[in-house]
């Protein structure tokens, strides 16, 4: 029922011509990586689970790496965002609504983009986008193929935010780029489908994450 209401409200918002919204609240804090440094616009980062587990590797305990990557699950293209094991996944970058911002700020609209040229869907961008695949519960999944920038009703599904969550962070879909979309807020969590694929999707349970610098430009 909740996803049905979200779908109705989202479609209603998409049908409106509305002015862009500029946040006027107190200045937002910068998001920091695992070393405590501010996330820089233009740098690439791995998004990894906040809680990491260890497993026995011979005489040693080894870190079970997990991260975000791409897979063609719902359709061949665009690619879907999934959680993978035994890998940090693919690096990502962040593009804030304010193109002049040099760091990534909490609770502000931004595009999330995979920083890779290894893809089987070259005709689609690697910008995150929210897509409605229906299913038994009307799930909204995170895929790619979104547009970078150009805030407005046509790109409302492309904007996400990063917020603090229990000593870590969570990613939320809560766009402020349109006045009519301010109340469209839900956490991004992990949905396990019938084939065991761990897909990013809107959820009542947030996927708690941290950020690890992938490389320096």
Give the residue with greater pLDDT, 106 vs 9. Answer: 106
So what's the pLDDT on residue 63? 61
Reported confidence tier of residue 62, pLDDT bands at 50, 70, 90: low
CB of 193 closer than 8 Å to CB of 199: yes
CA atoms within 13 A on the CB side of 40: 10
- In this model, does residue 217 exceed pLDDT 60? no
CB of 132 closer than 8 Å to CB of 186: no
Total Cβ atoms within 10 A of residue 62: 10
User: What would the mean pLDDT of 161-187 be, rounded to a whole number?
Assistant: 86
Q: For 180-189, how does the pLDDT look when each residue is reduced to its tens digit (9 = 90+)?
A: 555 578 999 9
- In this model, does residue 18 exceed pLDDT 80? no
Q: For 76-106, how does the pLDDT look when each residue is reduced to its tens digit (9 = 90+)?
A: 889 999 999 888 999 999 999 998 999 999 9
Reported confidence tier of residue 165, pLDDT bands at 50, 70, 90: very high
User: CA 103, 108, 110, 114: dihedral to nearest 10 degrees?
Assistant: 70
92 bridge partner residues: 45, 114
So what's the pLDDT on residue 139? 84
Helix (H) or strand (E) holding 162: strand 161-165
In 3D space, the residue among 131, 168, 164 whose CA is nearest the CA of residue 146 turns out to be 131
The CA distance from 200 to 188, in Å, is 6
Helix (H) or strand (E) holding 113: strand 110-114
Helix (H, G, I), strand (E, B) or coil at 171: strand
CATH topology of domain 2-215: Trefoil (Acidic Fibroblast Growth Factor, subunit A) (2.80.10)
- In this model, does residue 34 exceed pLDDT 90? yes
Q: In the chain, what percentage of residues exceed pLDDT 90? A: 58
Say what the pTM is.
0.82
So what's the pLDDT on residue 119? 79
- In this model, does residue 202 exceed pLDDT 70? yes
Altogether, the residues listed in the chain come to a count of 217
CB of 79 closer than 8 Å to CB of 26: no
Reported confidence tier of residue 203, pLDDT bands at 50, 70, 90: very high
Q: Report the mean per-residue pLDDT for the chain.
A: 83
- In this model, does residue 72 exceed pLDDT 70? yes
- In this model, does residue 135 exceed pLDDT 80? no
Give the residue with greater pLDDT, 177 vs 107. Answer: 107
Domain ranges of the chain: 2-215
């Amino acid at each position: 029922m909740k996803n049905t209401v979200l779908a109705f409200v989202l479609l209603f918002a998409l049908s409106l011509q509305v002015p862009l919204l500029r946040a006027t609240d107190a200045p937002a804090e910068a998001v920091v990586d695992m070393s405590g440094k501010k996330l820089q616009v233009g740098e690439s980062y791995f998004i990894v689970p906040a809680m990491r587990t260890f497993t026995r590797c011979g005489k040693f305990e080894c870190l079970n790496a997990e991260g975000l990557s791409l897979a063609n699950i719902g359709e061949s293209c665009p690619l879907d965002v999934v959680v993978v094991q035994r890998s940090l996944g693919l690096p990502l970058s962040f593009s804030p609504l304010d193109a002049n911002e040099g760091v990534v700020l909490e609770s502000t609209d931004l595009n999330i983009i995979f920083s890779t040229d290894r893809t089987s869907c070259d005709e689609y961008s690697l910008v995150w986008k929210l897509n409605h695949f229906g299913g038994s519960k009307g799930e909204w999944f995170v895929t790619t193929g979104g547009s970078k920038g150009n805030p407005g009703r046509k790109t409302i599904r492309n904007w996400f935010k990063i917020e603090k969550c229990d000593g870590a962070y969570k990613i939320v879909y809560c766009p402020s780029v349109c006045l009519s979309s301010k109340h469209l807020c839900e956490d991004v969590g992990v949905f396990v489908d019938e084939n065991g694929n761990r897909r990013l999707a809107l959820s009542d349970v947030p996927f708690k994450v941290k950020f690890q610098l992938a490389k320096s430009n």
